[in-house]
Structure 1
């Protein structure tokens, strides 16, 4: 049985045929799948793309550090994660695309909107964080290649677990890069942070 097309986001041939094309990659969607033995390893990759992780880690650094550059970076990562979650909520509600039948409901944290598949939130975060880190630290060469590998690994892992269709991970990655560009464009500097804090402290 086919997956319903999205109510808003188009009906291209690739989108319609995504369930059939994607099923080829669902090799460890369950312990009984062809590559079920590597499912625990792929689920570790899943954890590193979870939105909760990208919120808790910056908060932990903010608690223990006094380095201004790290405070600036962590605050912006938190803001970026919140921005990403808002974009995901909007897009998932607009598309309302159910997850693949092969998906097992065993993700770290699941809220109502996570019942929808398009786009992949793990891929948006992988794309967004990779873009932010490369731009913020002015990385070049091999580091960019390494970031690209991470984005691809995250996308493939989502398919292997049966969490998403091909179009979900492709569009999620593209959306993530766009989000990263927006975050860099409106980056909050240390000086801006201090000005905002002083404004709140005076009120």
Structure 2
């Protein structure tokens, strides 16, 4: 049986204030139709930033396009996504903060801090704005998507405000860390070729 942790009074007060402000903010935000509609699209928003989807899609694109010009972006993005999964899992295991008690979501995921979705969209947004800049015309949709994902987690009462803010901060930190260790193009190309060389050779010669 899991032993119940003793939470310091100061931290307990902060968590209580956070829960109160989250509830008040959600009640206020639901007055606006544009924000209420985010609840309608919650499934799409949740799937759109799912870690497995991004990892799998990235691998498929590496295999399908097989363009050396994209290897650097794809490999560094893949490393960042793996880093995000690890850091979020570790922090949730350490914090063990439960989701809002008013959450009627049937999700089996009970840990709330930090928001993994918020961390992921923040990392992807940072990556596509700073490390591999996308065309300017794509920036507004990217920011709208990031905002919508984070806001939907609050409106669905799956996270508290601090959970989402911590997730955003974590995602930005991940982006900065990947930027610091950003692998060179030659290294990324070598990694892709090392992983796929045997399969490519088999496809060429095993005819």
Q: Distance in 1 between matches of 2:42 and 2:193?
A: 45
Q: Distance in 1 between matches of 2:170 and 2:90?
A: 12
Which residue pairs with 1:67 in the alignment? 67
Which residue pairs with 1:19 in the alignment? 19
From 148, 153, 166, give the equivalent of 1:171: 166
Kindly provide the CA deviation profile for residues 35-86 of structure 1, in whole angstroms up to 9, marking residues without a partner as x: 9886341221111121112112101201201211323222222211110011
From 128, 137, 162, give the equivalent of 1:133: 128
Shift of residue 18 of structure 1? 1.5
Question: Which has more helix, going by share of residues?
Answer: 2
TM-score (norm 2): 0.74
Q: Distance in 2 between matches of 1:84 and 1:190?
A: 22
When structure 1 is superposed on structure 2, of 136-145 and 51-60 the one drifting more is: 136-145
Aligned-pair RMSD on alpha carbons? Answer: 3.3
- Determine if contact 1:6/1:96 at 8 Å carries over to the other structure: no
- Determine if contact 1:45/1:154 at 8 Å carries over to the other structure: yes
Which residue pairs with 2:203 in the alignment? none
Q: Distance in 2 between matches of 1:25 and 1:50?
A: 25
Q: CA 1:199/1:17 → structure 2, altered by over 3 Å: closer, same or farther?
A: same
- Determine if contact 1:7/1:94 at 8 Å carries over to the other structure: no
- Determine if contact 1:5/1:11 at 8 Å carries over to the other structure: no
Query: What SS is found at the alignment partner of 2:41?
Result: helix
Shift of residue 93 of structure 1? 1.2
Equivalent pairs, count = 186
After superposition, where does 1:66-105 map in structure 2 within 5 Å?
Answer: 66-105=66-105
Query: What SS is found at the alignment partner of 2:11?
Result: coil
Q: Distance in 2 between matches of 1:176 and 1:24?
A: 26
Kindly provide the CA deviation profile for residues 120-169 of structure 1, in whole angstroms up to 9, marking residues without a partner as x: 00000111110111112345877656544433222111001111001000
Q: CA 1:190/1:143 → structure 2, altered by over 3 Å: closer, same or farther?
A: same
When structure 1 is superposed on structure 2, of 79-88 and 67-76 the one drifting more is: 67-76
TM-score (norm 1): 0.75
Q: Distance in 1 between matches of 2:119 and 2:38?
A: 24
Q: Distance in 1 between matches of 2:6 and 2:146?
A: 25
Q: CA 1:191/1:179 → structure 2, altered by over 3 Å: closer, same or farther?
A: same
Which residue pairs with 1:31 in the alignment? none
- Tell whether 2:46 aligns with 1:46: yes
